[in-house]
Amino acid sequence: MRLFLKFVCITALALTSTAWAGLDTGTTALHPKDRDMIIIPPNLPQIHGVKIRPAGVELLPEEFAPGVYGLISTKKPVDNSGVIIGDDSILVIDAHINGDMAGKILANVKSLTGRDTPDYLFNTNYHGDHTFGNGYFPEETHIIAHRITRDLIDSRFEFEKQFLLALVDDPAVYAAAPKRLPDQVFDEFMELDLGGRVVQFHYFGLGCGPGDSIVYLPEEKIAWTGNLILGPSGIPWVIEGHAQEYLQTMARLIETLDIEVVIPGHGGVLTGKDRIRTHMLKFQTYLAELISETDRLKQSGVAYEDIVEAFPLPKKYLPPAELRETSGGYPDALLEGWHAWNVLKTYVEP
């Protein structure tokens, strides 16, 4: 086993043989508790090597259309955010990890619009690096999220603080974050009119985790993809999702949305239809290979403890040389860690 993997036994969260039974593969969102969804099977790796600790990080506004900004992190893989400006209202995408980073988002809103308070905030998923900043937004800001996202912010708030330690290494980063839940939820689709600009919120199914949602501008063909699609050198990380359903989610996304700009939750921005489609197809190819090869090795008798060594990350999924030299790239060790997690999780999924 590679040295960058630190294995932890989380027996209380072991995936039971009945988990995922009767899984509905349609787009209707089922709450995890309704299908005995357990987050983490035993002995999964904590991922080390690259941190999302935000010290010294700036969020630089990049305009992709008039009034449409990605707030791009100066340090990868620390989270990106976004601001969409309409004639009447302002929408922010994701609240970041703590009060300092939420303050940097609000400072961008002020510099871009002259206003202190955005009208809306959207959470693309429930993870703390996207939602711990909720409580630092003005009370007047109306927060929107998927129904599952809201429920998991509520039920897993303290658990998420522990889970993030492997990626932050300093609980002080977010220890003081107050729990603030979204005010409004949706299930599959919602539209919001900001005044002269319509924003869509889409849920296509399980991805990185439950509730992963996309913010989409149909006129400008710009999408904020949260953790569902990472930057140009990323691979899928099936933290709390299900590999087979992640694959189906990607198919529904590709079929439904016409995208020319992807602003991921982490990593570099993707531009151009062909490049984006190639990247999304890479995600599908990886997931299909993950499912088939893990199943093949499992059926041939390879034990759970040996599966990662038997199925290392294929070199074709490592970032090309040009991305390794940019801030948009991920180190090989991080991607190998994500892959190890995916293999172990997929091994125990029915």
Tell me what pLDDT residue 308 has.
Answer: 93
The residue among 146, 345, 125 whose CA lies nearest residue 242 is 345
Tell me what pLDDT residue 349 has.
Answer: 84
Global model pTM greater than 0.85: yes
The residue among 310, 328, 344 whose CA lies nearest residue 50 is 328
Tell me what pLDDT residue 26 has.
Answer: 32
Tell me what pLDDT residue 169 has.
Answer: 84
Spacing of C-alpha 196 from chain mean position:
29
pLDDT in tens, the chain (350 residues): 333 333 332 222 222 222 222 223 233 333 344 333 444 555 666 555 568 889 999 999 999 999 999 999 998 889 999 999 999 999 999 999 999 999 999 999 999 999 999 999 999 999 999 999 999 999 999 999 999 999 999 999 998 998 888 888 899 999 999 999 999 999 999 999 999 999 999 999 999 989 999 999 999 999 999 999 998 888 999 988 899 999 999 999 999 999 999 999 999 999 999 999 999 999 999 999 999 999 999 999 999 999 999 999 999 998 877 666 554 567 788 888 899 999 999 998 87
How many CB atoms neighbour CB 11 within 10 A?
8
Tell me what pLDDT residue 45 has.
Answer: 61
